[in-house]
């Protein structure tokens, strides 16, 4: 079965993104396809390249990146949520004359249309943090 | 950014249960609903719990904080979102009735709520 996930809360200080990640791992372990994870609102903090996880704590942005590399999962952060929160790719950094980019490799910025498309293409879509 | 041409239409129930302005959730839920409508997906908006406060008329948020949500909700029909439902008990518990709302809303009791969740192919709480 083809799944997509909607992740809406920060990777830090809230549990729901961790639940989403564990659900994602379990899906692929059971032979399902995870088509896309769409990060929305505070969920875009999952896509930062500029975090340092404290010792003994899960580094969720790195874990998502690893999952995507292993299983070809599309990781998309909502561009309007991301720009407001300082999650910036190279293109937006250049366009808005910002000093640096902060989007982690393996993620891309795009619009809500990617959530709609994920809903259309997947058999199931689940929200976390709603 | 493009949904495929002649994409299948899957009905979506977008649920908001968070009060407006303290968080951006209500606004986000409307944005999500509008995105689905823009790609020709049948969308129903449902307000539960504190979320029903978003429907009250006469909202005057501080301008630097947020656009007025009731005005945005008033434009839903222009985006093809015809169906807005609210939990009748949640409205009553907050002293609101149909006359106090900024737009036409279908009031849902326990049976209608169950039917709404069962009738849609997708349910997203934003």
What are the pLDDT digits (tens) for A38-48? 999 999 999 99
How far does A84 lie from chain B, in Å, by closest CA? 12
Low-confidence residues of chain A: pLDDT under 50: none
Beta partners for residue B106, in sequence order: B85
Catalytic member of A78, A87, A118, A125: A78
Angle, CA A77 vertex, CA A76 and CA A81 arms, to 5°: 160
Q: A2-128 in CATH: which number?
A: 3.40.1260.10
Q: How far is CA B15 from the centre of its chain?
A: 7
> For residues B53 and B26, what is the distance between their CA atoms, to the nearest angstrom?
10
Phi and psi dihedrals of A9, rounded to 5?
Answer: -125, 160
pTM of the model: 0.94
- DSSP single-letter state for residue A128: E
Phi and psi dihedrals of B122, rounded to 5?
Answer: -130, 135
- B34 within some domain: yes
- B35 within some domain: yes
Would you state the pLDDT for residue B5? 56
- b/e string for B90-100 if b means 16 or more Cβ within 10 A? bbeeeebeeee
Residue A116 is nearest to which of B24, B39, B125, comparing CB atoms? B39
Contact B25/A41, CB-based, under 8 Å?
A: yes
Contact A6/B124, CB-based, under 8 Å?
A: yes
- B74 within some domain: yes
Would you state the pLDDT for residue B120? 97
Would you state the pLDDT for residue B3? 52
- B47 within some domain: yes
Contact B32/A112, CB-based, under 8 Å?
A: yes
pLDDT by residue for chain B (126 residues), tens only, comes to: 555 556 789 999 999 999 998 888 999 999 999 999 999 999 999 999 999 999 999 888 887 777 778 888 889 999 999 899 999 999 999 999 989 999 999 999 999 999 999 999 999 999
Would you state the pLDDT for residue A4? 98
How far does B88 lie from chain A, in Å, by closest CA? 21
Q: What is the ipTM of this complex?
A: 0.94
CB atoms within 10 A of CB B112: 14
Active site residue A52: no
Residue B1 is nearest to which of A6, A41, A113, comparing CB atoms? A113
- B6 within some domain: no
What is the arrangement of strands in the sheet containing B83-87, beginning at the earlier edge strand? B106-108, B83-87, B43-47, B12-16, B122-125
**Domain residue ranges in chain A:** 2-128
- B62 within some domain: yes
Beta partners for residue A127, in sequence order: A6
> For residues B76 and A118, what is the distance between their CA atoms, to the nearest angstrom?
23
Q: Structural domain of residue B24, as residue ranges?
A: 12-125
Q: How many domains is chain B partitioned into structurally?
A: 1
Q: How confident is the prediction for chain B on average, in pLDDT?
A: 91
Would you state the pLDDT for residue B2? 54
Would you state the pLDDT for residue B107? 97
Contact B55, B101 (CB under 8 A): yes
């Amino acid at each position: 079965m083809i799944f997509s996930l909607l992740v809406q809360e920060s990777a830090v200080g809230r549990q729901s993104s961790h639940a989403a990640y564990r659900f994602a791992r379990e899906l692929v372990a059971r032979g399902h396809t995870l088509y896309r994870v769409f990060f929305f609102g505070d969920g875009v903090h999952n896509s930062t390249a500029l975090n340092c996880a404290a010792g003994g704590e899960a580094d969720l942005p790195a874990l998502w990146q690893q999952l995507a590399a292993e299983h070809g999962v599309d990781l998309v952060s909502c561009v309007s949520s991301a720009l407001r929160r300082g999650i910036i790719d190279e293109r937006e950094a250049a366009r808005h004359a910002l000093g640096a980019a902060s989007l982690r490799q393996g993620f891309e910025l795009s619009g809500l249309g990617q959530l709609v498309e994920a809903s259309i293409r997947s058999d199931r879509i689940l929200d976390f943090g709603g | 950014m493009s949904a495929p041409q002649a994409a299948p239409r899957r009905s979506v129930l977008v649920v908001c249960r968070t009060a407006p302005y303290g968080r951006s959730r209500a606004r986000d839920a409307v944005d999500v609903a509008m995105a689905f409508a823009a790609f020709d997906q049948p969308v129903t908006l449902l307000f539960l719990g504190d979320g029903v406060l978003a429907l009250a008329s006469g909202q005057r948020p501080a301008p630097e904080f947020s656009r007025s949500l009731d005005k945005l909700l008033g434009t839903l029909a222009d985006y093809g979102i015809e169906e807005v439902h609210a939990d009748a008990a949640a409205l009553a518990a907050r002293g609101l009735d149909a006359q106090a709302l900024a737009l036409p809303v279908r009031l849902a009791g326990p049976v209608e709520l169950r039917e709404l969740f069962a009738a849609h192919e997708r349910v997203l709480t934003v």
